Amino acid sequence: MDDEAIFFLSKCLYLNRLESLNISSNKLSPLGAKVLSMAGGLSNLKCLDLSYNRLEGLGLKSLVESSLCQQFFELNLRDTGIGMRV
């Protein structure tokens, strides 16, 4: 799944039924994270796994600044290019 697929997923009418979404090990970029963070239909999402995607700092920033981030019980960002600056 890539950024374009996330765009089409974000338009799905049944997103409001999702409580858990695993998009790990795909080809998401910071743009895909931004599109996901703006998806209005994810109001019931509690668990999101974005591990092993190249989200980097811009992708994380989009997620953290969205209202979507406030509702998570679990958020997996393992190996997404997000790390400490040295």
The domain that holds 61 is classified in CATH as 3.80.10.10
The answer on pLDDT for 52 being more than 90 is yes
Segment 18-25 mean pLDDT: 95
Q: Would the pTM count as exceeding 0.85?
A: yes
DSSP tag of 73: S
In a domain, 26, yes or no: yes
Q: What percent of the chain has pLDDT over 70?
A: 95
In a domain, 15, yes or no: yes
Strands of 74-76's sheet in order across: 20-22, 47-49, 74-76
Q: What local confidence, expressed as pLDDT, does residue 13 receive?
A: 84
β-pairing, 74-76 vs 20-22, is unpaired
Question: What does the block give as tokens for 60?
Answer: 């994380």
By residue range, what is the domain housing residue 55? 3-76
Question: What does the block give as tokens for 54?
Answer: 């190249």
Segment 26-47 mean pLDDT: 92
In a domain, 81, yes or no: no
Indicate the pLDDT class of residue 83, thresholds 50, 70 and 90. low
Higher pLDDT, 86 or 50: 50
In a domain, 27, yes or no: yes
For 62, phi then psi, to 5°, come to -60, -45
Q: Domain count of the chain?
A: 1
